[in-house]
């Protein structure tokens, strides 16, 4: 095959040098079924010559457009079910490149029931394109898209007012939509705390106006085309002066002479000689080497994946966060977070979920739901109103308090996207049930943090205790008379369980809740449980039976009941007893 | 893929000065992301394995694995699914590379099907792939009890792959359910599975064919010589160039001719056509790629035998 490029004086070196200057911009798209989103993406790929001839041939003469017109939507609707139903089901990723930039598109469906996919696409995006049908104006789904983009911390919102050809390219129509949407964005920023920068464009995806090429039909619009805007937006630049965040993924120990901590720089930068603090232990050291396959580095910055060697032996393992000593993250067991619920089973407050944050997993429970954000209109409320909620269902978003069984080091999402985000996993189904966005974290009191630092650096791990004692650590809530609680403690001891009895903090019914005692008791309980002990957290009542509950299992014991068998069943059901082949992360 | 220049006068937002930002090229960003994925999998699964198919994508994946764990060795074995129809050159190259990087190499073949004479002409390509690739892969993974398997597939290859997760959950029959995939946000991957289930992991998800060749060039990564244009004996049928491997069934009177050609992607010899090309070096290949007007899998017979053919294969357990 001969090609013009091979015949001409193609210089690979020049080409490669230009390629090396290209950066990467990730953007997501959102739109409703008929907004023409797939058409817009197809048009973008076609007009930047990013689709191959065989792919174009495969859609010629198909689809729903007029004869001779390509149905660009067919370039992106990938799955059989989608082609059969004419809709987009799931997040699809597309790639294209211009002479300035490489682009990754997360193309997400706009149906109401697919909020979770929009959140997924937005989670890594620098920019989001929101499509608005010029004939319909700002609809509830446009509000929803803008809200999710803002919640997920997308910085630039490209508002493409589409189908301008169907409103006679009306400038008045465009300006009216722009005005409506600007008001909306102010409301959204007030709710999420994440302002987004809007950019408005009048387009016709079908005819190509202002997608790649400027439109001749709208001389009143003098701004950039969509692709020009995408090429000029600031990409996810990494601020070298930002505080270091480096989650340890793996300890590399090929021989006795090398011990390195492998991970990716999530934020900031680091040089040999810099001091770091390992969280949650609080131990400090200096960086001795930044090791890579291609030789040691003088500087590593986000988002490089490297291996750090420290100047002294401190106890660090997978899941620890290495941070700038001068600007550490918050160590906490209590979070307030926005949750995007992504599972068909509703949120169960109080139930144990697994929280995955950076490179570790911690058991956690939702202790309270502050509100739900209404994503659709109903007869009494507006879209984005806050309403009280007892649970969250699939595709709902709310603000919740979470309590973690072990302390982790976090940041607010608005400050650090990667150390301020988490997912919740259902330990029974293993489904990813929620995406979490940290709004605030209550720091563990300094005295306890110091205590944890020493306790955590001890040589005996919870896993070793688990293997010796045959049970994991957990908090068992005992509610009932002291006499039965005493029998429970005695029965567990008799069976060789290692327990610690604590009296539960004063309940909310007390006139003045003792906040300090509550935090101290719950932190101590969480810590002992994470070390491998069964903590018996007793709330005394004068009823004639006692309820023992752990995670989402419970047991009621009357005065004369025999205990051993029933306690064993409870511990088994709650997954606390050793059985072969268990996953070590479920501590 | 093709590049396009636009005459941009876009009013860009104020850019931070160069001094306080550090920008990595897109290739280094992709590399860092892939290494993060490799390390997560090696740390969260009990028995991961890397599917090594000998092609350019596997070559890149293998280099990334060396980088991810340096100076420690790659902490998982390589597995090659051998259909019995791979080019001789590929097998020699495979053994050499495994020795060079010091990785354990496992080879799995569906021996009963191979002994029974499974081939794409007798069976049609769909059933042949089903037995020699998909079934062999599922058997191999089960035999060794692997719970995670890296594959070199990229989302830009094919429509159904565009919807694939980085961690692709497979049920205990190895099947993919495109309507019921786990949401994947930020860089947080859900590695939890029940016994018998597994995860296919695609660390090159966000790479394009151009990215792969550029990286091979920059990193000086060895690839099989079949990718480079040479004079090779080929059966010429219309536009198709069919390699003269031992398995080829010639038509009566058909004889091979010497053609300057190369393979754009490496598959089984009966189902992988060559293309006429003068691209004898990696720079030539990159230059050729810029001018290409058809996708890399266009020469794979197996993707075209039915609408949505790749998706159907993936649902059954194919990569």
Residues of chain B with CATH 3.40.50.620: 26-208+308-316
CA distance A214 to B288: 30
Among chain A residues, CA nearest to B7:
A228
Beta bridge partners of B180: none
Query: What sign has the CA pseudo-torsion B6, B7, B10, B15?
Result: positive
Beta bridge partners of A440: A336
Between A37 and A419, name the one with better pLDDT.
A419
Which architecture characterizes domain B26-208+308-316 according to CATH?
3-Layer(aba) Sandwich (3.40)
Cβ atoms B54, B245 nearer than 8 A: no
Question: In chain B, how long is the greatest CA-to-CA distance?
Answer: 71
pLDDT given for residue B34 in this prediction: 98
- pLDDT tens digits along A492-519: 998 889 999 998 766 544 444 445 555 6
pLDDT tens digits, chain B, 319 residues: what are they?
333 333 333 333 333 333 345 677 899 999 999 999 999 999 999 999 999 999 999 999 999 999 999 999 999 999 999 998 888 899 999 999 999 999 999 999 999 999 988 888 788 888 888 899 999 999 999 999 999 999 999 998 877 778 889 999 998 887 888 777 889 999 999 999 998 899 999 999 999 989 999 999 999 999 999 999 999 999 888 888 888 876 667 788 888 899 999 998 888 888 888 999 999 999 999 888 877 655 555 555 555 545 456 666 666 666 6
- Neighbouring CB atoms inside 10 A of A327's CB total 13
Which pair of structure tokens corresponds to residue A218?
């709208």
pLDDT given for residue A494 in this prediction: 87
- Neighbouring CB atoms inside 10 A of A214's CB total 18
Among chain B residues, CA nearest to A84:
B308
pLDDT given for residue A133 in this prediction: 92
- Could A239 and B20 be called an inter-chain contact, meaning their C-beta atoms sit closer than 8 Å? yes
pTM summary value: 0.81
- Could A79 and B69 be called an inter-chain contact, meaning their C-beta atoms sit closer than 8 Å? no
- pLDDT tens digits along A188-222: 998 898 889 999 999 998 888 999 889 999 999 99
Domain A245-324 and domain A330-449, same fold? Reply is yes
Q: Which conformational region is residue B174 in: left (phi greater than 0), alpha (psi within -120 to 50 degrees), or beta?
A: left
User: What's the whole-number average pLDDT of chain A?
Assistant: 84
pLDDT given for residue A241 in this prediction: 82
DSSP B300: B
- pLDDT tens digits along A359-403: 999 999 999 999 999 887 777 787 788 999 999 999 899 999 999
Interface check for B23 against chain A (CB to CB < 8 A): the answer is: yes
Cβ contacts (< 8 Å) between A114 and chain B: which residues?
none
Interface check for B21 against chain A (CB to CB < 8 A): the answer is: yes
> Which listed CATH number (3.40.50.300, 3.40.50.970, 3.40.1260.10, 3.40.50.1820) goes with A13-232?
3.40.50.300
> Is the CATH number of domain A245-324 3.40.50.300?
no
Give the mutation candidate from A46, A78, A300, A427 for the B interface (greatest B CB count, under 10 A): A78
Cβ atoms A502, A536 nearer than 8 A: yes
pLDDT of A40 above 50: yes
How many inter-chain contacts (A to B, CB under 8 Å) are there? 274
- Could B194 and A48 be called an inter-chain contact, meaning their C-beta atoms sit closer than 8 Å? no
pLDDT given for residue A88 in this prediction: 55
- pLDDT tens digits along A472-482: 888 999 999 99
Write the CATH number of the domain with boundaries A330-449: 2.40.30.10
pLDDT of A580 above 80: no
Question: If pLDDT is split at 50, 70 and 90, which confidence band does A458 have?
Answer: low
Cβ contacts (< 8 Å) between B304 and chain A: which residues?
none
pLDDT of A413 above 90: yes
Q: What part of B 109-138 touches A (C-beta under 8 Å)?
A: none
Interface check for B291 against chain A (CB to CB < 8 A): the answer is: yes
First to last CA, chain B: 24
Q: Where are the domains of chain A?
A: 13-232, 245-324, 330-449, 460-573
């Amino acid at each position: 095959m001969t090609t013009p490029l091979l015949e001409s004086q193609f210089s690979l070196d020049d080409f490669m040098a230009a390629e090396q200057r290209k950066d990467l911009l990730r953007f997501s798209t959102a739109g409703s079924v008929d907004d023409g989103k797939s058409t817009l993406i197809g048009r973008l790929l076609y007009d930047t010559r990013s689709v191959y001839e065989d792919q174009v041939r495969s859609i010629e003469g198909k689809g729903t457009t007029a004869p001779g017109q390509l149905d660009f939507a067919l370039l992106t609707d990938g799955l059989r079910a989608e082609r059969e139903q004419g809709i987009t089901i799931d997040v699809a990723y597309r790639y294209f490149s211009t002479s300035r930039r490489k682009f990754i598109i997360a193309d997400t469906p706009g149906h109401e029931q697919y909020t979770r996919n929009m959140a997924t696409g937005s989670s890594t995006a620098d920019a989001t394109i929101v499509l608005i049908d010029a004939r319909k104006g700002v609809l509830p789904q446009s509000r929803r898209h803008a809200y999710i983009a803002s919640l997920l911390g997308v910085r630039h919102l490209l508002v493409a007012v589409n189908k301008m050809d169907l409103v006679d390219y009306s400038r008045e129509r465009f300006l009216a939509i722009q005005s409506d949407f600007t008001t909306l964005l102010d409301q959204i920023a007030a709710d999420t705390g994440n302002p987004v920068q809007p950019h408005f464009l009048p387009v016709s995806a079908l005819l190509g106006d202002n997608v790649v090429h400027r439109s001749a039909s709208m001389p009143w619009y003098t701004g950039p085309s969509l692709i020009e805007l995408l090429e000029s937006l600031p990409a996810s630049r990494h601020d070298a002066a930002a505080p270091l965040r480096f989650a340890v993924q793996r300890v590399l120990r090929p021989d006795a002479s090398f011990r390195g901590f492998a991970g990716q720089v999530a934020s900031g930068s680091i040089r040999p000689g810099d001091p770091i603090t390992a969280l949650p232990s609080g131990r400090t050291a200096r960086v001795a080497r930044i090791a890579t396959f291609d030789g040691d580095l003088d500087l590593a910055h986000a988002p490089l994946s490297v291996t750090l060697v420290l100047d002294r032996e401190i106890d660090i393992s997978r899941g620890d966060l290495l941070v700038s000593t001068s600007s550490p993250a918050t160590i906490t067991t209590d979070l307030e977070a926005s949750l995007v619920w992504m599972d068909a089973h509703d949120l169960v407050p109080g139930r144990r979920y697994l929280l995955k944050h950076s490179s570790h997993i911690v058991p956690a429970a939702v202790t309270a739901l502050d509100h739900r954000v209404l994503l659709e209109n109903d007869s009494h409320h507006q879209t984005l109103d806050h309403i009280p909620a007892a649970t969250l269902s699939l595709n709902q978003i709310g603000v919740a308090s979470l309590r973690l069984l072990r302390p982790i080091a976090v940041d607010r999402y608005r400050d650090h996207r990667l150390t301020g985000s988490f997912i919740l996993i259902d330990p029974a189904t293993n489904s990813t049930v929620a995406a979490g966005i940290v709004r605030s974290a209550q720091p563990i009191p300094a005295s306890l943090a110091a205590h944890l630092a020493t306790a955590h650096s001890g040589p005996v791990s919870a896993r070793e205790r688990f293997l010796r004692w045959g049970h994991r650590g957990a908090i068992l809530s005992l509610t009932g008379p002291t006499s039965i609680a005493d029998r429970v403690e005695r029965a567990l001891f008799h069976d060789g369980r290692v327990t610690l009895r604590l009296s539960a903090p004063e309940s909310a019914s007390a006139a003045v809740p003792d906040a300090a005692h509550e935090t101290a008791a719950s932190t101590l309980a969480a810590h002992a449980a994470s070390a491998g002990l069964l903590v018996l957290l007793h709330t005394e009542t004068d009823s004639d039976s006692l309820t023992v509950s752990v995670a989402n299992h419970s047991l009621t014991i009357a005065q004369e009941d025999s205990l051993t068998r029933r306690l064993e069943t409870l511990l088994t059901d709650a997954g606390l007893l050793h059985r072969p082949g268990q996953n070590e992360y479920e501590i | 893929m093709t590049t396009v220049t636009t005459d941009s006068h876009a009013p860009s937002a104020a850019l931070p000065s160069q001094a306080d930002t550090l920008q990595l090229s897109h290739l280094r960003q992709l590399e860092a992301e892939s290494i993060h994925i490799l390390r997560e999998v090696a740390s969260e699964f009990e028995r991961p394995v890397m599917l090594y198919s000998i092609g350019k994508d596997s070559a890149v994946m293998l280099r990334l694995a060396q980088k991810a764990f340096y100076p420690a060795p790659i902490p998982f074995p390589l597995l090659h699914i051998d259909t019995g129809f791979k080019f001789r050159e590929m097998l020699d190259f495979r053994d050499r590379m495994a020795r060079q990087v010091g990785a354990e190499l496992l080879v799995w073949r569906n021996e009963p099907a191979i002994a029974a004479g499974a081939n794409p002409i007798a069976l049609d390509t769909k059933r042949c792939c089903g037995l020699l690739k998909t079934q062999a892969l599922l058997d191999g993974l089960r035999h060794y009890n692997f719970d995670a398997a890296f594959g070199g597939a990229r989302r830009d290859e094919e429509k159904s792959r565009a919807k694939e997760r980085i961690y692709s959950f497979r049920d205990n029959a190895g099947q993919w359910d495109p309507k019921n995939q786990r949401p994947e946000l930020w860089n947080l991957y859900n590695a939890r599975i029940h016994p018998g289930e597994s995860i296919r992991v695609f660390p090159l998800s966000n790479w394009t064919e151009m990215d792969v060749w550029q990286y091979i060039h920059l990193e000086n990564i060895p690839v099989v010589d079949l990718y480079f244009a040479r004079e090779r004996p080929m059966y010429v049928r219309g536009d198709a160039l069919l390699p003269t491997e031992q398995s080829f069934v010639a038509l009566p009177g058909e004889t091979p001719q010497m053609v300057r050609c190369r393979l754009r992607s490496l598959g089984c010899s009966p189902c992988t056509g060559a293309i006429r090309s003068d691209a004898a070096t990696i720079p030539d290949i990159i230059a050729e790629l810029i001018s290409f007007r058809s996708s890399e899998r266009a020469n794979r017979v197996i993707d075209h035998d039915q609408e949505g053919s790749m998706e159907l294969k993936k649902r059954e357990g194919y990569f």
